[in-house]
Amino acid sequence: MSYRFSEDDLEQVALEWFSELGYEVKDVTDSNGTSISTEREGDKDVVLNGRLEAVMHKINPNVPSKVIQQAIHELTVEKSPSLLENNRNFHELLINGIEVEYYNDNGETVYYLVNIFDFQNPENNDFLAVNQLTVVNGDYNKRPDIVLFINGLPVVVIELKNVTNENVGVEEGYHQLQTYKSTIPQLFTYNEVLVTSDGVNTKAGSLTADYDRFMTWRTRDGKTEASSNTESLSVLIHGMLNKTVLLDLIRYFVLFQDDNDDVVKILAAYHQYYAVNKAVESAIDSSSEYGDGKAGVVWHTQGSGKSLTMVFFTGKMIQKMNNPTIVVVTDRNDLDNQLFGTFAKSKGRSGKGLLRQTPKQADTSKHLKELLSVESGGIIFTTMQKFEPEEGQSSMEALTERKNVIVIADEAHRTQYGFKAKLDETTGRMKYGYAKYLRDALPNASFIGFTGTPVASTDKNTQMVFGHYIDVYDMTQSVKDGSTVKIFYESRVIPLNLPEDLNIDDSYEEITEGQEEDIKSKLKSKWSRVEALAGADDRVKTLANDIVMHFEERQKAIFGKGMIVTMSRRIAVKLYDAIIKLKPEWHSDDDHKGAIKIVMTGSSSDPEKFQKHIGPKKRRNELEKRMKDVNDELKLVIVCDMWLTGFDVPSLHTMYIDKAMQGHNLMQAIARVNRVFKDKPGGLIVDYIGIADSLKEALKEYTESDKDQTGIDTKKALEVLLTKYDVVKDIMHGFDYSNFNSSKKSERYYVISNTMNYVLGLKKDDQKLFIDTVTELGKAYALCATEVEAQKLNDEIAFLKAVKAAVVKLIQPPKNDGGNNKTPAEIEAEIKQLISKSVVTEEVVDVYKTLGLENPDISILSDDFLKDVAALEQKNVAIELLNRLLKGKVKALLKTNAISSKKFSEMLDNSIQRYNNRSIQASKVIEELIQLAKQMQEDQAKGKNLGLSTEEIAFYDALASHETAKKVMEDKELRVIAHELAKTVRQNMSLDWQYKKSAKAKMRSAVKRLLRIYGYPPDLETTATKQVVEQAELMANSL
């Protein structure tokens, strides 16, 4: 006896939890429960209008009924053919309310703002959880597992998978949700949260989120993290979907970002949600009458969405503090531009988005003063250096005395935020840290700091300006949650032969401290000597050779991009020239073309060699756009200082460092490679200058567990690779595939098809182990591809991945549900990458070609094709291939003939079940499946032989499926009834009749009446009527 805990069981448990949270529950499996169908006009409708109207009257007590009706119409009418556009329109109305113009009895124009939710009082709203809600759209009839309604609007959709079935999980649930989006889009017009769970793993995301952006919700209360994943669904339901949190999330933690023509909907992760709420509370307290102006510091590790956390904080503060002035301060122009770009994309349309206004950048100190002169409101971006006293002054004039000013400092740990005084040797006056000038300029403001790295325990300045930590989200938690990936370290140091009196780190930090990028002091003599050694001709030549070799190997192992960090612009240009000498095809004078570019600033006075790499800001923006486009040919950039902080390119997997860095600067730079991107297993730092000691020193301020997430030696990845390789060899023990790398293509095809056959002949558990292990093998290889021992296995790993891809294609046939979430352009880009000896991916394996077969037309399955399959030596492959094709044919048949489809589906399942149980030989199964295929072909021809159309043969099969009917009535009589049924069904068809209860009832009556006229057995009448009407619905949906 096997223990069962099904998807239905998980669904029932979830409904119990929603009931505990105060949701009304409508359970379709409960025979005593009241059906939700009475609240809908038909299965196409997804809004429960009765509930919506009742609650809107309740929360808008002084609004006339006609205004409520008009508001509901405005809310529910679709204004665009685009689902995302309709969803955005809905969200804006939900958050801002609906403005209605109304003429009262006196003929006067009155304007009402009608609220849809009562965000202040959760219990004033109507919360409903419904399982197995039938939603129909054209051909499609879908039933999501659980839908949550607030005030009659379906705002959450949950898809569950069987916790005990190891072959399905949260990713399959995600793909199912994508299917629903394309097939029943009307349900998602009102959606705010999507959830997928298999009971062990549970993830939530937005309408537009890719799978890697569906995140786990790890806490019920924001204080205690769940002990394990086993309670993940309970944690998400109780922590995220309780009434208070869900309303808060919808109101303040959903935003739409506009990036040129692309629109992305973003839902905050749990760490952002709780951090922002704590920060808002702290900021309000610190700006109160007795507050000290120190709101605190939020440390969220790089790559975990810190910039978006700042956006969410700003959006909520604007509403909670009645439109304060928000001043966002950075210490560099490029950071100011990057962060401003994030805010600008998030501002929303016409003041209706989360920020409710357009952010502004202060161009000068004078402009900053003008912007601050406005009494309230405004999101102002500025650099720290604009808080500079006039020449000869030791303090900054007050720009505003207002208390409703919140200063957000990005990277709050920097030395620039200090109070420390220094003697200016030129003027003889004392010069202070910018913290003093900030306080001078904004004496009554409250200050909050955001940082991606921890504040040093010895750093008193940061605490003096901002206060203590409000919230910490470190690297360990970020990697655990899937917000970022681990960073690996590889040493390939090219010695500088430095004199003993030179210390790189101290020199560089001394030179750059406290300055904007575009006004840095000239390099001092000590640094110049170091730079000269690093940029020596022979060293640059060696560096270029090694980077080209290393990056080409990396590109074979993992799809994505790389960045080179040099000590100076001079070295950057020399290195570029050395690289394109080795790879001239990488170069292009056109900024829109070429595989490698330098990103740097400069002026017309710079050397001539620099000029083609400088260009205006427009050029840098174009290169940034190309770098962020995963399909663009630009794969490698050389930088000195730019793009090392606040620059997000998720596909960036490798950073080559030839520049001394330390502390926060180092940690921020290497974090460029820790972004999540598809199946990227981790980021890699390649060290050419010797940053290992600096990295260890920088990590001292991190937790012990954090130290295990960064600077991991690639030797550890190699250990994993060799371990996984041994597991694969054990699985394949006794099978010889040693000639996989034969020079003859025919032999390689033979080897791959035989290996597929061997794997498909394994038990299901061993098949899964093979697939999972080869996947992990590929990930480990991507992290250590340049290690000598790994390179020895390159071709074999490529072969094993090709076998895995082919096996997966056979046992998991292509879906119509969005199972492959890569775009055609992404696939094409990967295929281009794979042309020259790269590792094979699942998208480029042609199973039919591998087996020497023509790609079949699934609607035909000709005798010649079946004969070729029967002749295959690889019997296990032949079975999986036939099973895959026949399943597709059965699915296609369902639309035109449900009875026939069900019959063949049961026959197919029976044969495959006996094969899986090893109770029948492979050759016998192939024989049965080929016979089944031929039966299906004959069945298709049956209608023609009987003189019946496709519609009529479907009704004939429905009538003749009962043996009693076939005994009582002659075949000729059944054909006549089938013919008349087709006519009757056509006559009773009206537009969307299958969605209307009255129309369906009329159809059933017409069918019953016809069956009685022709003497169809009374005891079979009900069943036959049901089958005929269901078949008619299928036909109507396929029109």
pLDDT single digits (tens) 723-760: 888 888 888 888 888 877 776 666 666 777 788 778 87
Alpha helices in 226-295 (DSSP H): 232-239, 243-252, 270-286
Q: In terms of C-beta density within 10 A (0-12 exposed, 13-18 middle, 19 or more buried), how is residue 291 classed?
A: middle
Q: How many of the other CB atoms lie within 10 Å of CB of 355?
A: 20
Q: Is the per-residue pLDDT at 828 higher than 90?
A: no
Comparing 231-240, 599-608, 1001-1010, the range with the smallest average pLDDT is 1001-1010
Q: How far apart are CA 559 and CA 726, in angstroms?
A: 25
Mean pLDDT across 879-907: 67
Q: Is the per-residue pLDDT at 93 higher than 60?
A: yes
User: What is the structure's pLDDT at 683?
Assistant: 84
Q: In terms of C-beta density within 10 A (0-12 exposed, 13-18 middle, 19 or more buried), how is residue 468 classed?
A: exposed
User: What is the structure's pLDDT at 231?
Assistant: 84
pLDDT single digits (tens) 197-233: 988 889 999 999 988 889 999 899 888 877 666 688 9
**Domain residue spans in the chain?**
7-259, 269-473, 494-710, 717-850, 863-946, 950-1038
| Contact (CB, 8 A) for 807 and 762 | no
Mean pLDDT across 98-121: 89
Sign (positive or negative) of CA dihedral 126, 129, 132, 136 = positive
User: What is the structure's pLDDT at 335?
Assistant: 63
Can 269-473 and 494-710 be said to share one CATH topology? yes
The pair of three-digit structure tokens given for residue 781, joined into one six-digit string: 């290889």
**Buried-state track 58-88, b at ≥16 Cβ within 10 A, e below 16:** ebbeebbeebbebbbeebbeeeeeebbebbb
Q: In terms of C-beta density within 10 A (0-12 exposed, 13-18 middle, 19 or more buried), how is residue 231 classed?
A: middle
Comparing 29-43, 56-70, 399-413, the range with the smallest average pLDDT is 29-43
Task: Assign 457 a pLDDT band (cuts: 50, 70, 90).
Answer: very low
User: What is the structure's pLDDT at 908?
Assistant: 67
Comparing 134 with 341, which gets the higher pLDDT? 134
Q: Is the per-residue pLDDT at 420 higher than 80?
A: no
Task: Assign 995 a pLDDT band (cuts: 50, 70, 90).
Answer: low
pTM here is: 0.64
Q: How far apart are CA 246 and CA 523, in angstroms?
A: 54
Q: Is the per-residue pLDDT at 147 higher than 80?
A: yes
Q: Which has the closest alpha carbon to 372: 341, 326, 331, 409?
A: 326
Query: The domain 269-473 belongs to what CATH superfamily?
Result: P-loop containing nucleotide triphosphate hydrolases (3.40.50.300)
Comparing 161-175, 375-389, 844-858, the range with the smallest average pLDDT is 844-858
Task: Assign 423 a pLDDT band (cuts: 50, 70, 90).
Answer: very low
Contacts with 626 (C-beta within 8 Å, 6 or more apart), sequence order: 592, 597, 632, 634
Average pLDDT along the chain: 78
User: What is the structure's pLDDT at 188?
Assistant: 96
pLDDT single digits (tens) 801-811: 888 877 776 66
User: What is the structure's pLDDT at 385?
Assistant: 79
Q: Is the per-residue pLDDT at 1006 higher than 90?
A: no
Q: How many of the other CB atoms lie within 10 Å of CB of 586?
A: 18
Contacts with 961 (C-beta within 8 Å, 6 or more apart), sequence order: 899, 1027
Secondary structure (DSSP) of 704-740: HHHHTTSSEEHHHHHHHHHHHHHHHHHHTTT---GGG
User: What is the structure's pLDDT at 364?
Assistant: 84
Q: Which has the closest alpha carbon to 298: 416, 446, 451, 411?
A: 451
Mean pLDDT across 140-147: 93
Comparing 167 with 148, which gets the higher pLDDT? 148
Q: Is the per-residue pLDDT at 932 higher than 80?
A: no
Most confident region among 122-136, 197-211, 224-238, 967-981 by mean pLDDT: 122-136
Q: What is the DSSP letter of 24?
A: E
| Contact (CB, 8 A) for 102 and 111 | yes
Three-class secondary structure of residue 112 per DSSP: strand
User: What is the structure's pLDDT at 848?
Assistant: 43
Q: Which has the closest alpha carbon to 543: 577, 498, 591?
A: 577
Three-class secondary structure of residue 464 per DSSP: helix
Mean pLDDT across 366-373: 86
User: What is the structure's pLDDT at 769?
Assistant: 85
User: What is the structure's pLDDT at 851?
Assistant: 44
User: What is the structure's pLDDT at 64?
Assistant: 93
Mean pLDDT across 587-606: 90
Comparing 370-379, 537-546, 589-598, 878-887, the range with the smallest average pLDDT is 878-887
Give the containing element (helix H, strand E) for 886: helix 875-894
Q: What is the distance in angstroms between the CA of the first residue and the CA of the last residue of the chain?
A: 46
pLDDT single digits (tens) 269-299: 999 999 999 999 999 998 888 888 888 888 8
What value, to the nearest 5°, has the Cα angle with vertex 560 and ends 827 and 307? 110
Give the containing element (helix H, strand E) for 194: strand 193-197
Q: How far apart are CA 867 and CA 874, in angstroms?
A: 14
User: What is the structure's pLDDT at 715?
Assistant: 73
Comparing 185-189, 676-680, 826-830, 880-884, the range with the smallest average pLDDT is 826-830
pLDDT single digits (tens) 758-817: 887 787 778 888 888 888 887 777 777 767 787 788 788 888 888 887 777 666 644 443
Largest Cα–Cα distance in the chain? Answer: 115
Q: Is the CATH number of domain 494-710 3.40.50.300?
A: yes
Q: Is the per-residue pLDDT at 513 higher than 50?
A: no
Q: How far apart are CA 433 and CA 456, in angstroms?
A: 17
Most confident region among 47-61, 308-322, 399-413, 512-526 by mean pLDDT: 47-61
User: What is the structure's pLDDT at 3?
Assistant: 44
Q: Is the per-residue pLDDT at 346 higher than 80?
A: yes
Q: Cα-flanking dihedrals φ and ψ of residue 99, to 5°?
A: -85, 125
Q: How far apart are CA 411 and CA 669, in angstroms?
A: 13
Task: Assign 80 a pLDDT band (cuts: 50, 70, 90).
Answer: confident
Q: How far apart are CA 144 and CA 52, in angstroms?
A: 21
Beta strand pairing call for 254-259 and 262-267: antiparallel
pLDDT above 70: percentage of residues in the chain: 72
| Contact (CB, 8 A) for 255 and 266 | yes
Q: How far apart are CA 552 and CA 583, in angstroms?
A: 11
Comparing 25-39, 342-356, 526-540, 601-615, the range with the smallest average pLDDT is 25-39
| Contact (CB, 8 A) for 387 and 445 | no
Q: Is the per-residue pLDDT at 123 higher than 90?
A: yes
